[in-house]
Structure formats: structure tokens, C-alpha cells
A and B are shown apart, each in its own frame.
Chain A
Amino acid sequence: MSLRLSQNTIILNTSPSIASYASIVGKKEGEGPLGKHFDLVNDDNTFGESTWEKSESRLQKDTVSKAISKANLVPSDIDFIFAGDLLNQCIGTTFGLRELEIPFIGLYGACSTMAESIAMGGIFIDNDVAINVAAVTSSHFCSAEKQFRFPLEYGGQRTPTSQWTATASGAVVINKKNAPPFIRAVTIGKIMDLGVVDVNNMGAAMAPAAHYTIGQHLADTGKRPEDFDLILTGDLGQVGSELLIDLLNRDGIDITENHNDCGLMLYDLDEQDVHAGGSGCGCSASVLCGYILDQVKDGILSDVLFVATGALMSPTSVDQGESIPGIAHAIHISNKSE
């Protein structure tokens, strides 16, 4: 059973296993440094569908189906699915998962959704209210641009602090298989807002949330940064990563040695014209499910603190001049069950 350690942190005493995981990405992501690690790279970003929204739904459905089949299961074996995406009312998810007929809990945590859904799934398994659960999220560059910024054909210039929404999806199946990677603990963050209004500087808007959640996880568990082989933030990009390290330094916490950011790993920042890095739910989801979990499974990485970050604004709130609230949730993923 789970142990509530503090207001934020829950220890999953039975250490649920990530039984399988899958990742599917688009063309640009496939051309990035992690290209060969993903289950599938689709060169056609429409994924054979007629609208960008349907493309994203298809992407998410294919990814979760892949994860389920890799666990040698079928959709009816899954007791609950935790999922979300960036589109209004999470239509990427609902239309994608409609046909799978799995009891569904929709989540909105913007780009923090992968950590949010793994946290929920892990707690369900840890407390024996389910045998198998799935967690999935996705983002699609084209559907996100259309909703949050400008039509794709519009000639706008991106600023140096802007980030590139990944066309990517990642999914996991969690159960008590008793094999690594294990989910050991989760820290649920709170909404943090330090008044960033620039919608082209999401990393800066989310860094305070990552700072809070990492600090809280370390304080609650009594761990130090060096207890982790990797502290992996979601999509802070260049600007947000720098700010996070700076914020933690002020608390006397130094993560420079073992920090990395999915937004910096997914693309080649010098060659791929993504400015400050990648973003989107699929960014951290695909890096985790395509690259990191393999390494934890094989023991190359022993302990990873996965901290997916989300920016909780909407086009309406931005137009109304509101600042951008951030959120971050941390998952301790380990090669060892205790």
C-alpha cells in the first residue's frame, strides 16, 4: 500500500513495474539525436489522417496499442487508462482512445501529463485496485500550432526563447510484474506562477514549478541530487533549464552534474532550428518511453527522477494578459525495487 510521506510525496511501497512502454514520433523527431531509439518514426506527420487533430489521435492510439501489445496484453486486459493531451477538451486523447473501450480517466496537465498519468497509474497499482493500467500522452506540432499560435502557413518569426512542440507520443503499461523499471515514489507539484507572460518563453514559466517539485521531493525523501543518476525535467529547454539550476542553487542544491532536459535531448539544437528546445506532452513522454526507460531496465541508469513540466495557460488566458502558471510532477523510477 502507498505511504503518504508529506502533502506532496507518496511512496509506492510495492514498487509497481513499468511492464512495457512504447514511443512513436514524427519525422523531425526521428531525425534528432534519439531517432533510432523510438519504436516507430513516421515520416508522414498526417499519420494517414485528414486533419491534424485526427493525426494526433491516431498517433496516441497507435502508441498505447503498441505498449499494450509489448506487454503481451490486449486492451481488455487494461483496467484503467490515464491519458491526456494539449488540445481543447483533450480531443486528441478521447477520439484516439474511443475504440479501445478501456475505463478512461482523462487528465490535463499540459506537458506534465506523462508524469501525472504515471503517478496516477502507479498509485492505482500500488493499492491493488487494478491489475494492469496504461498511461499515455501525445502532442502534435501542427495541431498545437493551430490551437495555440498561428496557422502553419502564416509567416511568423519564432523568437530565440520559443520551443518546438514535438510530434510524439509515449505510453506505458504498469502492473506488478516485479521487473524493472520500478516506480518507487511520486511527488505531486503545486501550481507555481512567477508572473511570466511571454508565451514564447514557456521554459521560464515552468522552471519555478520544477524547482518547487524537485526541492520538495528531495526534502520529503531525504535524498540528495547525487542519489539519482539523472534528474530529467520535461521540456524546460535551454532557458528554463538554466533558470531551474539557478533557482535550486539558491537553495544550496546543485543538480548541474546529473540534470538533463527532454526538450534538449529530443532535437539537435544547433541543426534542427528548434530555438530553445522541444516541448509538448509528447516531448518528455517519447524521451522517457523511447530512451530513458530502456536504460533503467538495462541498469545503465539506476535511479531517475523524472520531472515532467507543464504550462497551464490557454489561448484565452494569454489574450487576456494573464501570466502563465506552471506545474511539475516528479516520479522516482528505479532499476531496484527497494
Chain B
Amino acid sequence: MEILMEYGKAFLIGGIICAIGQVLIDYTKLSPARILVLFVVLGVVLSGIGWYQPLVDFAGAGATVPLSGFGHMLAKGVREAVTEDGLIGAFTGGLTATSAGIAAAIVFGLVVALIFKPGDKS
């Protein structure tokens, strides 16, 4: 039962975050790339003012899987690194915390691009 609740919360919050993105697509002139930038920067800001962690605690993957969660990871990494290492942490923390995701995207991107052929659309 508890596990169902977890999935329900992830679905609800993740769905709402994506729906906000769709509202921006349909009602503003923002291009997809701009919307992604907006979500990441908003994730950093919301995490910085302490609002994003409670959302993660509540919704789990519902808050970490959207790109705002990527922003939260960046901010969280910086916060921890500044606590440990001081000023240098402001520069190392973000990419350290998100390095797995970025490296995965680069490597899988490269491998897939090498293996597959560009496809047609119909």
C-alpha cells in the first residue's frame, strides 16, 4: 500500500511539473530549449531557498526526474561542497553532483549515434 502511495505521489508531482512545461509551450512563445533552461535554473533557485528538498522528500522521483531536479542536484552539490571545502566548492560542487548524468548522456549519445542510422519521419 505504501509503495502505491509512493508511485501515486511521484506521478502527481512529476505530472504537474511536466504540465507546467506544456502550459509554457502552448501559451507562451518559449521554445523547448528555453523551457529546459528555465526549469534547470528554477531548480537551482528553488533548491537554494530550500523549497525543492521538501518536494523531493514528498514525491521522490516525481521531483528528481524532471529537469528541475537536475537543477536541485546542482545546487545541493554546491551547498555540500561549500560546506566541506569553502569557496572552491562553489565551482566543484555542481558538476560533481551531476557528473554521472552528464557523462551518461555523453557516452550513450555517442554510442547510440555510432550504432544507429538517422531515421525518416512520416
Q: Do chains A and B touch in the complex (CB under 8 A)?
A: yes
**Residues of the B chain whose Cβ atoms lie less than 8 Å from the Cβ of A152:** 118-121
Contact with B along A141-173 (1 / 0, CB 8 A): 110010000011100110000000000000000
Q: Check if B122 is an interface residue, CB within 8 A of chain A.
A: yes
Decide if A27 is an interface residue (CB 8 Å cutoff): yes
CB neighbours of A153 from chain B (8 A)? 118-119
Say yes or no: is B54 at the interface (Cβ < 8 Å to chain A). Answer: no
Determine the chain A residues whose CB is within 8 A of the CB of B29 once the complex forms.
198
Contact B119 A28 (CB under 8 A): no
B contacts with A, residue count (CB < 8 A): 8
| List of B residues within 8 angstroms of A145 by Cβ | 121
**Partner of B25 from A28, A142, A157 at Cβ < 8 Å:** A157
Q: Does B8 contact A (CB under 8 A)?
A: no
Bound together, the chains give a CA A142 to CA B122 distance in angstroms of: 10
Asked whether B32 is an interface residue with its Cβ less than 8 Å from the other chain, the reply is: yes
How many residues of A sit at the interface, in one of the four size bands? Answer: 10 to 19
CA distance A81 to B32 in the complex (A): 41
Most interface-central of B32, B119, B122 (chain A CB within 10 A): B122
Contacts of A157 in B (CB 8 A): 25
- Whether B32 and A28, one on each chain, are in contact in the complex, defined by CB atoms closer than 8 angstroms, is no
CB <8 Å contact, B121 and A142:
yes
Contact residue among A28, A46, A151, A198 (Cβ-Cβ distance under 8 Å from B122): A28
Within 8 A of B (CB), among A22-67: 27-28, 45-46, 52
Docked pose: A310 CA to B99 CA in angstroms: 46
Q: Shortest beta-carbon distance, A317 to chain B, in Å?
A: 16
In the complex, A67 Cα to B25 Cα: how many Å? Answer: 45
5 A-B pairs with the lowest CB-CB distances in the bound complex, closest first = A45-B120, A152-B121, A28-B122, A156-B32, A152-B118
10 additional A-B pairs beyond A141-B121, A142-B118, beta carbons within 8 Å, are A27-B122, A45-B120, A46-B120, A52-B118, A141-B120, A142-B120, A152-B120, A152-B121, A153-B118, A153-B119
The 10 sampled A-B contact pairs (Cβ below 8 Å) are: A27-B122, A28-B122, A45-B120, A141-B120, A141-B121, A142-B121, A151-B118, A153-B118, A157-B25, A198-B29
Which residues in A have some Cβ–Cβ distance to B below 8 Å?
A: 27-28, 45-46, 52, 141-142, 145, 151-153, 156-157, 198
